[in-house]
Amino acid sequence: MDPLIQVKNISKSFGQTRVLDGISLSIDKGEILAIIGPSGSGKSTLIRCLNGLEKVDSGRVNIGGTLVESTQSVAGRVGMVFQQFNLFPHYTVLNNIVRPLETVKKLPAREARSKARALLEQVRLEDKEDQYPRSLSGGQQQRLAIARALSMTPDIMLFDEPTSSLDPELAFEVFETIRTIASRHMTMILVTHQMNMVKNFANRVLFLEKGNILFDGSFESLMASENSRIQQFLKKIYP
């Protein structure tokens, strides 16, 4: 079986800075890949290239055989959850899910509402549907963002530090939501500094540094790595 995601020798620069330096990577359906590495190493840029939010300078990204050229080319197939939630502030909780279902998935209003309600129940926000995002806690906002991404029935979910703006208790709620998604064998890529998430969810870990893959393997072998750069990084974030 071909890998679901194929990244072939992609490079990306912003001005003089080469942020991705010829990265190649294959990800199979059902894999849960964690990406770690120092700030500025290119983690966000890499996953943004996977859903077309960022255009590569050279190389190519294929998802299920489709060349990723823009967000349009993978519309509905790749869901993304950001650190800063990116909800629609002027829509109610329910409409944050209903409106994209109507416009992107072309569902009739009634069907969109019932689907949105089912998703809100899954992330335990069923009693919040008439509120606006600003009145939700950070953890609730992030769970809404996850529900909205899931409503598009994507093949792949990308998470960019989904819990890093949350205090530990709220982060734990989001963690639990991600655990539920992981248990459904969704293909996931998770950028995080939280090694407990890496340990719990990921069956594969990538360590990025300066736009290069320094490590690609299991959590256990990462822990056993003798690379001094990796050891130094881990000592800081996973003492």
Ligand X SMILES: Nc1ncnc2c1ncn2[C@@H]1O[C@H](COP(=O)(O)OP(=O)(O)OP(=O)(O)O)[C@@H](O)[C@H]1O
Q: Which candidate, 99, 232, 76, 40, places its Cα nearest to that of 149?
A: 76
Angle at 147 between CA 146 and CA 148, to 5 degrees: 90
Q: Does 205 participate in binding ligand X (rule CB under 6 A)?
A: no
Nearer to Mg ion, 44 or 141 (CB): 44
The CB-of-48 to ligand X minimum distance in angstroms stands at 8
Judge whether 93 and 123 are in contact, CB under 8 Å: no
d(CA 84, CA 99): 20
The CB-of-199 to Mg ion minimum distance in angstroms stands at 20
The contact mask relative to ligand X for 44-73 (x = CB under 6 A, - = no) is xx----------------------------
Residue 17 touches which of ligand X, Mg ion, none (Cβ within 5-8 Å per kind): ligand X
CA distance to 93, 115, 180, 219, per residue, from 166 (Å): 19, 27, 19, 24
The CB-of-35 to ligand X minimum distance in angstroms stands at 8
Q: What does the binding site for Mg ion look like in residue numbers (CB under 5 A)?
A: 44
Ordered strands of the 32-36 beta sheet? 78-81, 156-160, 187-191, 32-36, 204-209, 212-217
The CB-of-160 to Mg ion minimum distance in angstroms stands at 6
Q: Does 17 participate in binding ligand X (rule CB under 6 A)?
A: yes
- 200 class by beta-carbon count within 10 Å (0-12 exposed, 13-18 middle, 19+ buried): middle
Q: Does 13 participate in binding ligand X (rule CB under 6 A)?
A: no
Residue 183 touches which of Mg ion, ligand X, none (Cβ within 5-8 Å per kind): none
Nearer to Mg ion, 44 or 96 (CB): 44
Q: Does 194 participate in binding ligand X (rule CB under 6 A)?
A: no
Among the listed residues 3, 40, 59, 64, the single contact to ligand X using CB under 6 A: 40
Nearer to ligand X, 41 or 194 (CB): 41
What's the start-to-end Cα distance of the chain, in Å? 39
Nearer to Mg ion, 41 or 95 (CB): 41
Torsion angle in degrees (nearest 10) through CA of 112, 113, 117, 119: 10
* Contact footprint for ligand X (CB under 6 A): 14, 17, 19, 37, 39-45
